[in-house]
Structure 1
């Protein structure tokens, strides 16, 4: 023990020599007190100090800087300066205490080393495949039908799991007892549904992510078809279809499209985590057909309904579609003196035939009521719609009818009412379409179609405020594209 006491006495004497003379009395008193404590240490504790794993070098090293701070303290030291000095004294006292009582520190360090954090159970993720059922997927996760019943019984939102489709993912987390703790059902990139077990049963939480929206612009000149021109311009198939639907009331895309026709379209692209995940709505578009230019802009009213209008507020939508089948080919025109291809007699062809693949959807050309749905002689499977008091449309040679289509039901414009077939007197799959005005058959391709309601005068100011900047942006895109083409020619 003697070497240790000598070491501390020498250390303290060196420390006190750095104090101003005015403080020597206080320093001497402190040194005497510490020497008395060191002299009173029993030899048993000294042996314990030599055996402890707590290194004494760390506290001694921490004292190297504070004495310099104290030495530079002026004689008229403030209260804050005294506090700093007191801080040094406390650290010295902690050093003595660590020497006197080393064992508790060793125990504390041992407890910290042995503490561990309980790991969260692993997740199992499964991708829904063709032919999979919820029961099969639960079995892959080590669960059974009782777990499905428990989930469905405790959470009403679990019924959405009945509509799983291939490509979606379901992830499971089981607890220590092998029971379902959490389930994550990812419907698509933006929507998922989570279930978590609680004391009161399963709690559900819907998660809806919002994509970032960027504005894109495409333009093309048609050489063969709208679809091929759109593809060459880098447009998705659904975007091409939407473009055709916007102008479908003014342009017959099966008959009126000519080489040299042009289109320009401004639309939304959706991004998630920096990656493109799809396209949004068309904001504005322009189509030039045989030298005549049509413009359209999207407008959302106060009720949240969105429709397309001309820049001055006239509805692009007519009461009737010009074509009830998308991208079909006209195989036979309206002709009251046509020779029937099967009967070989002069028999009026009171409609237009659209050739298309069997199963192609047939759309209602306007809002109306089903007044006939069934077999009708040489027409085969036929649907007749009544549109108000003045108009009727007929759709013949269907392969089968649309879901829920029967006499008395009401349909909306664009709703699928059947599928192209070859029933009745037919040489191949096609749709035979007739149009009646006040009971008189008319040529579907040339009959003047009534327009839908345009923007009301009371709403015109809001319409212009919302759509004029969009139309201006479309014009800006057109201008920049012309400059780019001119520079390329140079």
Structure 2
């Protein structure tokens, strides 16, 4: 209990607290005290604060009605509004967004590719039955591009492939019907000059310089086959080639004709230039003389000589000594034998000890004989054939001990050594033909010389530097 003495003190304490509460400042009082008809800056700030808080509360509180469930929920209504049609380009984009591009891998078949994309084999057979499709798709090479339009709903909607280097075919498949669209792909032809030097082999050097196997074959078996024995090509031999390249969409898709070529071996340079004369295309020397000789000295390229031309030789079967009036070339059974020159076939059949034999008449008293064949080529007596035509195949028919070709060369019925006989020279270009030839070859020669100067000047200053290819369009 409180003592009586403490009563007055307590009352005094409560009185002080009451006075302090009465004199404590409050917001309402602050707003009204000293108001003279104009708000102070402090009063404006406080009023703005209250207004902001009020608006936030008014915006937030109604949102809590989404939490209400049950029968008290406010009913809602929806309205269907028409949408504008899709633009045409959007439909086109939709049609192409399902294309799948496939590049054929080595050893891969068309059936495997269709199977990987879950396209039925029946669809593939329908495509192959379309005109022109089987020829293009039956010989797929590694890297060939195929395209399949397969939408999300499944099924093959369209198929695309290249019919050749410049035409792309697109087959649209609708039910049982197939419609074709051919797209032409423009290409460009560029003239290229390349040069190289043999370090290990001609083939390796030519491939390194950018030549295709077909171009190498043209250089060795067509342009210089009469003058150069490439089996004896050696380190340091040089060559230059001007040829055509076909480009499409920034990619080289193939090589074309060789316009000119030079080959330097043994300190001597041989050259050949492509030119069309009297409807025939051939290669000529710089002075317009055809490189193609009237006769090929070896009917079997790169064959070995097993018995040469001689006045006396012991026959391996008969055992008697007699003249060997031809040259024997050793080769395996079935090796192709080529006609030495343009000719008319005068004899095909069995000829005593010669066995299966072919005799060709080249005109002007020149004839050639090919013996001991295993079988003949596809021609008949009296047929006209071109130089290089396969007239038969090496065998061992007649009086022989093994497979080989016996080759004879006759002039007016007299046997001559085909390895040393002087061949009749071809007729050179004359008159207007020679002028046209010189006009067409002059820029090619100038360009080739320019590239050779640059290439071999670099080689002399930098011996270890590899060959380069000039590929200016």
Q: TM-score, normalised by structure 2?
A: 0.63
Shift of residue 440, structure 1, vs aligned partner? 1.9
* Corresponding position: 1:485 with 2:459: yes
Residue 215 of structure 2 is matched in structure 1 by 239
Compare 437-446 and 202-211 and name the one that shifted more: 202-211
1:321 alignment partner, SS class? coil
Taking the TM superposition and a 5 Å limit, the aligned residue runs for 1:385-404 are 385-402=360-377, 404=378
Contact 1:128–1:169 (8 Å) recurs in 2? no
Q: Distance in 2 between matches of 1:411 and 1:133?
A: 40
Taking the TM superposition and a 5 Å limit, the aligned residue runs for 1:112-131 are 117=91, 119=95
Contact 1:128–1:165 (8 Å) recurs in 2? no
Residue 328 of structure 2 is matched in structure 1 by 353
Cα separation, partners in 2 of 1:107 and 1:302, compared to 1, 3 Å? farther
* Corresponding position: 1:286 with 2:262: yes
* Alignment counterpart, residue 274 of structure 2, candidates 262, 275, 298: 298
1:143 alignment partner, SS class? helix
Taking the TM superposition and a 5 Å limit, the aligned residue runs for 1:48-63 are none
1:445 alignment partner, SS class? coil
Q: Distance in 2 between matches of 1:421 and 1:147?
A: 47
Q: Distance in 2 between matches of 1:200 and 1:280?
A: 39
Q: Distance in 1 between matches of 2:370 and 2:90?
A: 73
Taking the TM superposition and a 5 Å limit, the aligned residue runs for 1:78-477 are 107-109=81-83, 117=91, 119=95, 141-143=120-122, 147=126, 151=130, 160=135, 164-167=138-141, 184=160, 186=162, 189-190=165-166, 205=182, 207=184, 210-221=187-198, 226-227=202-203, 230=206, 235-244=211-220, 245-253=222-230, 257=232, 259=234, 262-268=237-243, 269-300=245-276, 303=279, 305-402=280-377, 404-477=378-451
1:308 alignment partner, SS class? strand
Structure 2 unmatched runs, 5+: 1-75, 465-473
Shift of residue 166, structure 1, vs aligned partner? 5.0
Shift of residue 432, structure 1, vs aligned partner? 2.8
Q: Distance in 1 between matches of 2:105 and 2:272?
A: 41
Cα separation, partners in 2 of 1:425 and 1:236, compared to 1, 3 Å? farther
Cα separation, partners in 2 of 1:52 and 1:146, compared to 1, 3 Å? same
Residue 4 of structure 1 is matched in structure 2 by none
| Number of residue pairs matched by the alignment | 377
Compare 345-354 and 180-189 and name the one that shifted more: 180-189
Structure with larger Rg: 2
Q: Distance in 2 between matches of 1:192 and 1:378?
A: 58
Q: Distance in 2 between matches of 1:195 and 1:184?
A: 6
Contact 1:147–1:180 (8 Å) recurs in 2? no
Contact 1:192–1:206 (8 Å) recurs in 2? yes
Q: Distance in 2 between matches of 1:185 and 1:381?
A: 49
Compare 233-242 and 387-396 and name the one that shifted more: 233-242
Cα separation, partners in 2 of 1:119 and 1:280, compared to 1, 3 Å? closer
RMSD over equivalenced CA pairs, Å: 4.7
The structure in which a higher percent of residues are helix is 1
Shift of residue 394, structure 1, vs aligned partner? 2.2
Structure 1 unmatched runs, 5+: 1-50, 54-102
Q: Distance in 2 between matches of 1:267 and 1:368?
A: 32
Cα separation, partners in 2 of 1:461 and 1:110, compared to 1, 3 Å? closer
Shift of residue 468, structure 1, vs aligned partner? 0.8
2:345 alignment partner, SS class? strand
Shift of residue 457, structure 1, vs aligned partner? 0.7
2:425 alignment partner, SS class? coil
Cα separation, partners in 2 of 1:445 and 1:182, compared to 1, 3 Å? farther
- Tell which has more relative contact order, 1 or 2 (C-alpha 8 A, sep 6+): 2
Cα separation, partners in 2 of 1:343 and 1:464, compared to 1, 3 Å? same
Shift of residue 222, structure 1, vs aligned partner? 7.5
Contact 1:297–1:310 (8 Å) recurs in 2? yes
1:338 alignment partner, SS class? strand
2:310 alignment partner, SS class? coil
2:346 alignment partner, SS class? strand
- Can you list the C-alpha shifts for 1:332-373, whole angstroms capped at 9, x where unaligned? 322232333444432333222333444443322222222233
Contact 2:242–2:444 (8 Å) recurs in 1? no
Q: Distance in 2 between matches of 1:328 and 1:222?
A: 24
Contact 1:283–1:297 (8 Å) recurs in 2? yes
- Can you list the C-alpha shifts for 1:191-232, whole angstroms capped at 9, x where unaligned? 555556799985574856535535132233587x65566467
Q: Distance in 1 between matches of 2:305 and 2:138?
A: 39
Contact 1:128–1:170 (8 Å) recurs in 2? no
Q: Distance in 1 between matches of 2:210 and 2:399?
A: 42
Q: Distance in 2 between matches of 1:373 and 1:428?
A: 21
Q: TM-score, normalised by structure 1?
A: 0.61
